[in-house]
Amino acid sequence: MSRVLLIEDDPAVRRGVVLGLSRNGHETEAVGTGESGLEALAAFKPDLVLLDLMLPGMSGLEVCSRIRATSRLPIVILSARDDDVDVVIGLEAGADDYVVKPASVALIEARMRAVLRRLAPSPSDTGADAGRVTVGDLEIDRSALIVRKRGAELALAPSELKLLLFLSAAPERTFSRQQLLEDIWEHSYYGDVRLVDACVMRLRAKIEEDSRHPVYVQTVRGFGYRFGPLPA
């Protein structure tokens, strides 16, 4: 079971989520502000953060950005705001997934499990072809789950890493957004393809020389994304 830090200002939501997760064996710490959430990170050492966007004082977006600046810690946003702009802003800040409130504990826990599974190597990452793959100035260590650019290790969030591993395992093969959504996020409904686009944007910002003209993660217009090929 996981250690979960819940940053949520609504006492009723805090109680409900903590009770539900605790019944399922998760060790959960709950705080009501972004500032106290950042303080709890070091003391509690969670495996995953559940983060409300609308917090008093420091916003959830700022909390997310601060965590992501120094850590690959999985972040799942909980928010009553479900329009596309708010969802994309949250994902662009570095969140790995987004759950719209009100949501059942069963749904929250399912999203948590999916995010945490992205930290573990899949069979395609650890099979016979696993190892170090160098493409241009990018080095992908599939067994150690480390990505380097010009020798410097990149701080990729779990979803970014999983997306890169997945695409690079089948170079030049195009995957639809729906395929990526189902294989990486384990979502089966269309409305969440914005998860894919936001993650691609964040990944490109880290691995591409010019994210406006991507070399590694390329867009196939009207369909989806592929890895490479590099220009000659």
> CB-based contacts of 122: which residues, under 8 Å, 6+ apart?
165
Whether pLDDT at 131 is above 80: no
24-28, 32-36, 65-69, 132-136: the lowest-pLDDT one: 132-136
pLDDT tens-digit map of 169-187: 888 889 998 889 888 887 6
CATH number for the domain formed by residue range(s) 123-227: 1.10.10.10
Whether pLDDT at 121 is above 60: no
Q: Which two tokens stand for residue 185?
A: 């996020």
Report the C-alpha gap between 103 and 17 in whole angstroms.
10
Q: What is the pLDDT of residue 189?
A: 52
Q: What is the pLDDT of residue 84?
A: 62
The answer to whether the pTM exceeds 0.85 is no
Q: What is the pLDDT of residue 200?
A: 92
Is residue 166 within 8 A of residue 184, CB to CB? The reply is yes
> What is the third-level CATH fold of 3-117?
Rossmann fold (3.40.50)
Q: What is the pLDDT of residue 98?
A: 85
> Average pLDDT for residues 60-80, to the nearest whole number?
88
Q: What is the pLDDT of residue 119?
A: 66
> CB-based contacts of 72: which residues, under 8 Å, 6+ apart?
119, 155, 156, 157, 158, 161
Give me the residue spans of the domains in the chain.
Answer: 3-117, 123-227
| Percent of the chain whose predicted confidence (pLDDT) is above 90 | 41
Whether pLDDT at 14 is above 90: yes
Q: What is the pLDDT of residue 126?
A: 46
Whether pLDDT at 6 is above 90: yes
Is residue 57 within 8 A of residue 33, CB to CB? The reply is yes
Omega before 102 cis (within 30°)?
yes
Strand pairing class (3-7; 48-52): parallel
Is residue 126 within 8 A of residue 120, CB to CB? The reply is no
Query: 35 versus 190: which is more confidently predicted?
Result: 35
Whether pLDDT at 12 is above 50: yes
> Average pLDDT for residues 18-22, to the nearest whole number?
94
